[in-house]
Structure 1
Amino acid sequence: MHKSGHTGGYLLVWTAISFLFLLPQGLFRVSVIGYILGIPLVMVPDEDQSFPLATHRGFSHTFWFALIFGAIFFIIGLKMSPTLAAIGASIPPVYLFFIGFVIIITHIFLDSHTPMGVKPLAPVSEKQYSGDISSNSKLWNWLFYVIGIVGTIVAIYYYFFVGI
């Protein structure tokens, strides 16, 4: 998948999580932060292509990387908690862990539908998950992008104007 496909896929997943779980619990701030962090960071796993010794769709496309990424968000949340609380913008670090984890898992899930596939549990399991959607498919990348944006707009409209 390209950036447009991953962004749209993330929007779709995060909108569903926000609408079904976060917003009904009054966690509006967590929902918004998930959008703010997720959209620019959804391509982090593909940064493995920037490192000559790294294998594309290697460690950065595993469940373990998602846990580490979430843990980094958790630690940053712990360190920033006093500052955020002082300005009235606190968010429990566990939610930041969840956001970081979902960002990476969404990327991996989308890549699991391409012919190259992923091995999300490597090195514990070498089972590869793959599908038939070409990473370069303009149709699929734009379809995910448009559906993600439209789904997000519909959810925002429903939240603010219709109510949950």
Structure 2
Amino acid sequence: MKILVSAGHSNVDPGAVANGYREADIAAEFRTLVAHELRQAGADVLTDGEGKDNKPLSEAVKLAGGVGLAVEFHCNAAINPQACGVESISLPAKRDVSERISAAIAAVLGSKLRGERGWIDQSKTPRGRLAFVNAGGVIVELFFISNPAELAAYQAKKMDLARAVAAVITGWL
């Protein structure tokens, strides 16, 4: 089964910017780390770019429709620097893998699970209809980039985090 690992936002859309970091850069870095771990495990992996390259959402959506599992990484942000936690947004058919990914992230980063055990049903979110989710994908909000403690935990543990997420994905297949 082919897996798409995508980075949220793009080379021209930085996403949230906080504490000296851009969401798009973190998403591209984490996509690359997870894709590497999946390939090391023998998985058939497709990405929406390599290294710092981060293609626009329109490209990721096209790729998502033709794979067994599509996962896209993002960072949450809030005005309150204490906002925290991890969540994965999907349609109900991907609830199980969404919850597992969120739980793995929470375990590594020491984060809380947002939503229903880390899962957000797209139809119940103020974000509305997300194209990547409608294409069958899972959007993972890794942590709050606006929370200095969560950002520091990510920076310190990103390799362990990539291994944990890759293990969930390969175990779900």
Structure 1 length-normalised TM:
0.33
Q: 1 or 2, which has the higher strand percentage?
A: 2
- Bigger-Rg structure (1/2): 1
Q: 1 or 2, which has the higher helix percentage?
A: 1
Structure 2 length-normalised TM:
0.32
- RCO higher in 1 or 2 (8 Å CA, sep ≥ 6)? 1
